[in-house]
A and B are shown apart, each in its own frame.
Chain A
Amino acid sequence: MPGLIERYGTVAAGLALIAAFAAFAPNFAALGNIINVLKDTSFLAIMALGFTLALTVAELDLSIAEVASLAAVVVGWLVQSKVSPALAIGAALATAAAIGVVNGFCVTVLRVPSLIVTLGTAAVARGLAFMATQGVAFVGRWPTGFTGLARGATLGIPNLVLWLAGVTAASWALITWTRTGAHMTATGEAEEAARLAGIATARMKRLGLLLSSLGAGITAVLLAANLSSAAPNMAGDYFLYAIAAVLLGMTMFAPGRPNVAGTVFAALVLKVLGNGLVLLGAAYYVQDIVLGAIMIGSVAVSTVVTNTPAFANTLAFRARA
C-alpha cells in the first residue's frame, strides 16, 4: 500500500509552494489576490472535475474546452437575445450534455477510442461555436440575475467558490458514497472484471463522459456570467490546465488514480503557481513551460510510486471479440 510520502508528498509540496509565495511574492497574501486566485481556481477545478470523472471510467475527454466554449456561446447568445437566464443556462447545459451523450455513444456503441472520438467532437463543437457567432463575441450589459451567478457573493463567500464547493461535494459523494460511483471506479480499474461481476460497464462509461461534458457546461455558464461575454474560443486556455490539474491530482491522496480531492487541490496549486509567478515578475511564457513540465512529471511520479504504467487501462486500443 502506498505510504504517507506517496500519498501526501506532492500535497506537502503544494502547501510549501503556497507558503513560499505567501512569504516572498509581493501582494500574494492580500485578501483581494487570494479571492481572485480562488475564483479563477473554480473555473479550472470544475472543468477538471469533469475530466476526472471521465478518467475514472478510463476514458479521455479531450473535448472539454471546446464543449465549454460552445456552451458559453449558447448561453451568451440566448442571454443577449433576452431569453430568461434560467432557460439560457438550461440550453447551454443541454448542449454540453448532448455532446457528452454523443461521446459516450461513439465510445461504447461504435467502439471508437475516446481519444479519437473526443478529438472529433472537439472539432465539431469548435465549428458550431464559430458558426453561431460568425467568429465574433457576444458582449453586452447582461442582467445581474445572470452575471451574479459568478460575480456575486452569498453570506460573504464568492458565489464561484460556492459553485466549486457544490460540484466538488457532488463529485466526491458520487464516487465515494454511491454504488454507481463504485461501479464507475471498478469499470475504470478493471473493465473486464467489472463486466463479469455484472456491472453495466458501457453505461458507466457513458455516464463518465456525460458528466465530463456537464462539468464543461457548468464551467462555461460561469465563465460567460463572470465576463458578461461569450466568445467561440473562450475556454481554450483552460484545456491544458485542466488536464494538468487531473494529472497532478493523481499524485495526491490516491496515487495513480484520478481522484476528486487531488484534482481540486492540484487546480488550486496550479493557479497559485501561475499567480505567484506573475507576481514575482516572471515572463508570461514561463507558466507554459512550468505547466508542461508538471504534466509530464506528474505522470512519471505516479508511475514510479505505483510501479504500474499510468493509463494502462485508458489508452489501450482494446478490441473485444
Chain B
Amino acid sequence: MAETGGPDRAPLLSLRGIGKNYGAVVAVRDVDLDVYPGEVLAICGDNGAGKSSLIKIMSGAQAPSAGTIRLRGAETRFRSPHDALLQGVATIYQDLALAPRLSIAANVFMGAELTRPLGLKFLRVLDRARMADEARAYLRRLSVEIADTRRPVAGLSGGQRQAVAISRALRWDAGIVIMDEPTAALGVKETAQVLDLIRRLKSEGRVVILISHNMADVAALATRVVVMRAGAKVIDRPAEGLTPDDLGHMIITGRDVAQ
C-alpha cells in the first residue's frame, strides 16, 4: 500500500472552492483539498488561520459558505456531525464527546446501541453484555486493554478516554477520522498513547485528518501536510523528510521549505 496519495489514485474526500465567513470575518477562503486513502493528513497553521473552521466543514459541524464536497467521487452535504458520521466521517472531539459518569460501553455505543429480541420479534431490549464485549474488542484493536467496560469513563486516563472516543468511530466503521488537537491537553505518556492510536487507525486503512500545533507529532505521524494562513491553503505537500523545524518554518513564512 502506498504511503501517500497521488494523482494516480482517486481521492476519498475532495473539497473544491470551500469558503466560510462568519459575518464579515473570512475564516476559510477558496480551499481545494483532496484526501487519499491511507493518508494521515496534518493541517497546520498559526492561531486563527482557519484550521478548526475548515475541519468543522469536513465534520458536518458547520455548513460551508461556498464550495462543494465530494465523498468517494459523489457530491454530498453534511447536515450535522451525525449525518457525516452516517456517511463514514467521524470527528473526535476533545472534551465534548464523552459522558464521564456513563460506562465505557455506553459511551462507545452512544446513539447506536445494540439490542436483542426479547421473546417476541418486535420487542427489543438493550444488549448490554454484547455492548460490553464489543467495546472491549474495539479498545483491544487500539491496543488498549480494559477488562471491565461497564466501568464509568470518569476513572480513565486522558489517553484511554481518547481511545474510547475513537472506538465510537470504529463502531460506526468510519473511513475518515478527524481530530482537532487530539493531544493538546495530554501529558507526555498519554500523548505517546494517542499517537499510537492514530497509527493503529492508519494501519487499519482509515484516513486520519488532524490539527496539531505540536510539530514533533506532525513530523512523526503525518504522511501529508497542509499549511493554512489567513483562511487560505498555502502549502500542500508530502510530509516525508520534513523535520519539526521545517514545519515551524513553513508555518511562519507560509512558504514551502523545498522552494
- What is A's interface to B at a CB cutoff of 8 Å? 1, 176-179, 181-183, 185-186, 189-190, 192-199, 256-257, 306, 308
Contacts and interface: CB of A to CB of B under 8 A. Distances in A.
Contact of B82 (A1, A181, A183, A196): A196
Interface stretch (B3-11, B106-114, B188-196, B217-225): B106-114
Contact of A196 (B81, B100, B125, B151): B81
B176 to A, nearest CB: 16
Contacts of A194: 99, 110-111
B106 A182 contact: yes
B100 A1 contact: no
B41 interface: no
Given A1-B155, A198-B82, A198-B111, A193 B126 contact: no
17 contacts: A1-B155, A177-B125, A178-B125, A179-B113, A181-B126, A182-B106, A190-B96, A190-B100, A193-B93, A193-B96, A194-B111, A196-B81, A197-B112, A198-B81, A198-B86, A199-B111, A257-B101
A178 B126 contact: yes
A193 B110 contact: yes
Given A196-B93, A196-B97, A197-B168, A186 B125 contact: no
Contacts of A256: 101
Given A197-B82, A198-B85, A306-B101, A177 B126 contact: yes
Nearest to B109: A182
A182 B113 contact: yes
A-B pairs, top 3 by smallest CB distance, nearest first, are: A198-B82, A197-B111, A190-B99
B102 interface: yes
A2 B69 CA distance: 47
Among A195, A198, A257, max chain B CB count under 10 A is at A198
A179 B248 CA distance: 48
A179 B152 CA distance: 19
Contacts of B151: 1
A193 B82 CA distance: 11
B21 interface: no
Given A1-B151, A193-B97, A194-B111, A186 B102 contact: yes
Contact of A197 (B110, B125, B152): B110
B98 interface: yes
B243 interface: no
B81 A189 contact: no
B186 to A, nearest CB: 19
Nearest to A176: B126
Contacts of A181: 126
Main secondary structure on chain A at its contact with chain B? helix
B143 interface: no
Nearest to A190: B99
A143 B118 CA distance: 40
Interface string B121-144: 000011000000000000000000
A198 B126 contact: no
A183 B96 CA distance: 16
Contacts of A176: 126
A1 B111 CA distance: 23
A181 B96 CA distance: 21
A186 B103 CA distance: 11
A189 B97 contact: no
Contacts of B126: 176-179, 181-182
Nearest to B111: A197
Interface string B84-100: 01100001010011111
Contacts of B97: 192-193, 196-197
A176 B152 CA distance: 16
Nearest to A257: B101
B96 A192 contact: yes
B214 interface: no
Contacts of A198: 80-82, 85-86, 111-112
Contacts of B82: 195-198
A186 B106 contact: yes
A178 B168 CA distance: 20
A186 B101 contact: no
B125 A1 contact: no
Contacts of B168: 197
Contacts of B155: 1
A194 B151 CA distance: 19
B110 A186 contact: yes
